[in-house]
Structure 1
């Protein structure tokens, strides 16, 4: 009888297993030490985005540079161009890394030596959280292909892994807040073309964000989430705490020990 009153877990065991495996994959291939020492939980506030801009182009460039730097990719040859200037096809250079791959000290060898061109959706200028999340997802996808390490589940999971990796880089608040956009009352202000294309569900994205925050104990990861996501975050934390406490995975155990040091 008491079982009737037990709350249902936020995610299924298979969903949790994939997200946990993907988090470990991110630690192993995308600089877990940088994650511990330097990754911040980026919030949609003036503290993280203090710049004043006067044009669409300046807005896009400014936000892109902020996202790039928060991701630790400031030494990567990445260039943002307007949508009209993005070629239909481009030859991607191949990066090799002499030591760490992220942060100001990252040293890359790029062959052939030219920039990776990225662009933006002008419709998102009035939805800055979507713009930040889209940039974070695009950078994550570039990272996956440059590293050449497929996520759990293989190539068919790259889109979902890009969302997860964007959370791993600290953008989980914006990733979670932009999975689904409410149309509002009459829908007159709703622009479907401004929404980012999410590969993870709301619950899965919030779970990954909560998992990142689990190893950042001084951060309130739910503070800037949309109101309806805060209860999801709390359920995610409970499921994460239970999983990590029972997990023999050495990466999770190491992260837990170091984050609590």
Structure 2
């Protein structure tokens, strides 16, 4: 009878395997050491977004600048433009870095003549978490195609991997909070066109966020999640701990050792 009350895991084994494999891929392709030493867990607070803005365009450009900086992509040749200026058909410009690809030390060489353009959804101006998450997902997609090494599952999984990589860049709180927007009690306040297009489910996104936070133990990763996601986060933590305790993966074991050093 005791098994009747045993809680089921948050995700299936296949979901966990893909998310863990994608995390390992992200560490290998996008500087796992930078992740461990520099990546922050970005929160929807004035600490991370202190700017005062006076127009839609200023808000979009200011948020984009913050997001690209926190992602360590301030040296990448990417500009944000309003939707009317955005070129729909773009090819990935060719550019390279001297050594490191992210952070203050990243040195761009062979810069393209024209920056790659990212646009924004004007409907998200009143839903800033969606705006942040959308920018983070777009930057993650650019990173994937610039690197040229597809995630586990190949091309078919690029959209899902972009969501996961955005969490890896530190934006898991906003990514989790914006998978699904409740209509709430005021139908006229709900704008479906402002919602971002999520490729991972809520549990999958929260799991990835919890996995990132596992290696950032000084941060309370559930603090700024929507209330209904905090229990999901705790279930994810349990499943992650069980997985890492049994993993033979050398990269995960090395990261876990670094984590314990920081805790000691």
TM-score (norm 2): 0.97
For residues 42-61 of structure 1, the aligned pairs below 5 Å read: 42-61=42-61
Q: Residues 127-163 of structure 1, C-alpha deviation per residue, up to 9 Å, x if partnerless?
A: 0000000000000000000000100000000000000
Partner of 2:70: 70
Instruction: Confirm or deny: 8 A CA contact 2:92 2:145 kept in the other structure.
Output: no
Instruction: Confirm or deny: 8 A CA contact 2:129 2:174 kept in the other structure.
Output: yes
Partner of 2:98: 98
CA distance in 2, matches of 1:71, 1:156: 24
Q: Residues 167-193 of structure 1, C-alpha deviation per residue, up to 9 Å, x if partnerless?
A: 000000000000000001141100000
Q: Residues 67-110 of structure 1, C-alpha deviation per residue, up to 9 Å, x if partnerless?
A: 00000001111111010000121232122232111001112224
Partner of 1:238: 238
* Gap regions ≥5 residues in structure 1: none
TM-superposed CA distance for 1:111, in Å, is 5.5
Partner of 2:259: 259
For residues 60-209 of structure 1, the aligned pairs below 5 Å read: 60-110=60-110, 112-209=112-209
TM-superposed CA distance for 1:3, in Å, is 1.3
Instruction: Confirm or deny: 8 A CA contact 1:93 1:110 kept in the other structure.
Output: no
Other structure's SS at 2:91 match:
coil
Number of aligned residue pairs: 261
* Gap regions ≥5 residues in structure 2: none
CA distance in 2, matches of 1:95, 1:107: 11
For residues 209-248 of structure 1, the aligned pairs below 5 Å read: 209-248=209-248
CA distance in 1, matches of 2:226, 2:75: 33
Instruction: Confirm or deny: 8 A CA contact 1:217 1:260 kept in the other structure.
Output: no
Instruction: Confirm or deny: 8 A CA contact 1:79 1:118 kept in the other structure.
Output: yes
Cα 1:59–1:111 change in 2 (3 A) is: closer
CA distance in 1, matches of 2:68, 2:219: 21
Other structure's SS at 1:234 match:
helix
CA distance in 2, matches of 1:110, 1:165: 25
Partner of 1:28: 28
CA distance in 1, matches of 2:114, 2:223: 40
Instruction: Confirm or deny: 8 A CA contact 2:164 2:208 kept in the other structure.
Output: yes
RMSD: 0.9
CA distance in 2, matches of 1:29, 1:199: 21
Partner of 2:249: 249
Partner of 1:11: 11
Other structure's SS at 1:63 match:
helix
Instruction: Confirm or deny: 8 A CA contact 2:72 2:104 kept in the other structure.
Output: yes
